[in-house]
Structure 1
Amino acid sequence: ESVITSELKSSESLLQLFSLPLDKNGVPDLVAVKAVYDVIIKANREGKILSAKTIGYGGLAEAVTKMAFGNGIGVDINDRIDPAFLFKPLYGSILIESFEILEGSTPIGKTTDNNKIVFGSDAIAINELMEVWEAPLRSVYPEKAETSGAVETLSFKVTPIVYHKDKLAKPQVFIPVFPGTNCEYDSVKAFENAGAKAVTTIFRNQSAQDIINSIDEMAAQIRASQMIMIPGGFSAGDQPNGSGKFIASVFRNPKMMDAVMDLLNNRDGLVLGICNGFQALIKLGLVPNGEICEITEEMPTLTFNTIGRHVSTIPMTRISSNLSPWLANTKVGDIHRMPMSHGEGRFIASDAVLKILIENGQIATQYVDFEGAATLDGRFNPNGSVYAVEGITSQDGRVLGKMGHSERIGKNLYKNIPGNMDQQIFKAGVNY
């Protein structure tokens, strides 16, 4: 609860500097560091600090500017400060925002609602400063992909929600761990918090016998489970030539394939794939076809983000269909914030395939803007997915693939991010 971030929070607060003495080599005095940091920690635990930022090579000027960028809050810097001091490196020093003067600090200025940084007679608009800061590398690292066009905001409703005929007190979910996956711990925690028994098996590939044993173990665990969840990450470094292929090749082993299809066809089980898991599901054909099959050119896929690089962001997604049991605890139209981190999350499909998915209610979630409308705008649709698709299902909804990390939720994980992040996907799977 005492975690704070660096962006300014109020337009009626005070900025103060906790500075550290530096020796001739620019190294802070460690005794002074502890004394100053103890004061800051105490004030923070008492709830007196709104935001804080460490100061580096760019000095106070850089720190003030970056703190102002976050929420566009203006700053009036004390004009009695020596201009040269504003750009002096102050390694280890900390600039804090508070409503009161804190003991041991030096007043630097105050926040305002004029969206400008003011020093004496000089004033620069925050958006102008941000443009100067971002422009030099924009051709190499663009902030968003340029897109145009409009898409329909979908609403597909079915009633009643279908549940499994056989109820278990503690259903089991199998979570395979492959070289490069990195979300298995979060996924296990999410399912266990929802009331499931989560079982993981590591795919070992240091020898031919390791591979054989791993496949046997995984197939056995699938047959003992009611759900499969393929977690996110970068399996095999997203090689060969594309994400999810390593996982897909393992699941195409006859033993694995038979176990998966037995779960779906004979035991009415559920399958979930998030991020890298979604990439694997779509390369297996489990979404949208509901079965492991040969991939053809006509089938949808996930490919490189339109922006041409990895994206890490928390966009908004809207529930477009309640076809899937995984989404039974949501309503069509619900909007959630979804943590995302991927390089190949752009969903693409032909118009003919999109038409079928829309008619069947297989488009589970879409990226939306602040008005809740599906959009191609790169500020809200970070990978450039066609029709703003974030997640799709099999025809009966029991297989769900999505890019957003629904498992990355918990207390104090995010700050300054409004909105609901809990889709209750894992609880819905357990309830099914």
Structure 2
Amino acid sequence: AEVSSLPLINLDFNKLSESIDAWVKEIEQSQILIFSGGFSAGDEPDGSAKFIVNLLKNQKMKDAVHTLLQRDGMILGICNGFQALVKSGLLPYGEIRDLDENSPTLAHNAIGRHISQMVNVKVVNEDSPWLKGMKGLEYTIPISHGEGRFMASEEVLTELYKNGQIATQYIDFDGNIAHGMPFNPNNSLFGIEGITSLDGKIFGRMGHPERFAEGLMKNIPTANYHNIFKNGVEYFK
């Protein structure tokens, strides 16, 4: 894949407007839009998600993202990127929209602090180009976040389950869904680590598969590469 990575320059109104126009131009000629993980402003409440959501709600950006999806484009969000997808409405609704009291969210970890460790996750649904051919496979990947606790009402959780939108779940050493420490360190409901939109084109997760590389994590024999990126690229070949 050819990657175009643009900074958001917000030193003043004019530079911000120029940045948004540049982003829109790139999105218009792209097939995949990715919001990566990373700290912003010390990962204060909502982390960088609040800034990404504000940007996504700009009408130019909103139109560009919706047009991308309408022409069969795909979106991926990791960690803070996942937070942005959830808090913009792109997950689980598949569109940028205002949220209400019934919308799912990502809250502070139950332990009340940042957590950085390895976790085991299982792909439970592959009805997504990002996860094609991976159902039932287990991966050991890094996490690093302070607000990764997926929260939703029982009604929303049931709907996500029925729709097959629950994509990846935290599991224990025996392969069972993990509902708390240490295997589900943020205490996400139903062990949810990642979800998709209804059509599977949008995927968001808390784990960091991009942080794996051969030669790293040698003390974690089960560490492996959950190569969702390869799937995303091959979808368009």
Displacement, 1:421?
Answer: 2.1
Deviations 1:331-366 (A, max 9, x none): x21110110100000000000000000000000000
Say if 1:287 and 1:399, in contact at 8 Å, map to a contact too: yes
Q: Which residue does 1:107 correspond to in 2? A: none
Question: Normalising to structure 1: TM-score of the pair?
Answer: 0.53
Which whole-Å deviations, capped at 9, do the CAs of 1:202-261 have from their partners, x for residues lacking one? Answer: 00011111100110000110111000010001234345x422111110111011000000
Partner of 1:416: 219
Is 2:214 the counterpart of 1:403? Answer: no
Structure 1 gap ranges (5+): 1-195
Alignment check: 8 A CA contact 1:329 1:423 kept: no
Residue pairs, 1:319-334, within 5 angstroms: 319-330=123-134, 332-334=135-137
- 1:422 deviation in Å? 1.5
Hey, what's the Cα distance between the residues in 2 that align with 1:313 and 1:264? 34
Which gives a bigger RCO, structure 1 or 2 (Cα 8 Å, sep 6+)? Answer: 2
Match of 2:64 in 1: 259
Matches within 5 A, 1:286-365: 286-330=90-134, 332-365=135-168
Q: 2:171 aligns with which of 355, 368, 378?
A: 368
**Paired residue type of 2:61:** M
1:228 and 2:228 aligned: no
Alignment partners' CA distance in 1, 2:118 and 2:158: 28
Q: State yes or no: 1:381 paired with 2:181.
A: no
| Residue in structure 2 matched with residue 102 of structure 1 by the alignment | none
**In 2: Cα distance, 1:397 partner to 1:272 partner:** 10
Letter in 2 for 1:376: H
Number of equivalences: 234
Report if the CA contact (8 A) 2:114-2:145 is conserved: yes
CA contact (8 A) 1:329 1:424 kept: no
Shift of 1:420: 4.6
Q: What SS class does the counterpart of residue 263 from structure 1 fall into?
A: helix
What does residue 9 of structure 2 align with?
204
2:70 is aligned with 1:277 = no
How far off its partner does 1:324 sit? 1.2
**Runs of 4 or more consecutive aligned structure 1 residues displaced over 3 Å after TM superposition:** 236-239
Q: Highest CA radius of gyration, 1 or 2?
A: 1
Q: Deviations over 1:84-112 (max 9, x none)?
A: xxxxxxxxxxxxxxxxxxxxxxxxxxxxx
TM-score, length-scaled by structure 2:
0.96
Q: Distance in 2 between matches of 1:329 and 1:216?
A: 37
How well do the aligned residues superpose, as a CA RMSD in angstroms? 1.0
- Letter aligned with residue 374 of structure 1: I
Give unpaired runs (5+ residues) of structure 2. Answer: none
> Structure 1 vs Structure 2: percent identity of aligned residues?
49
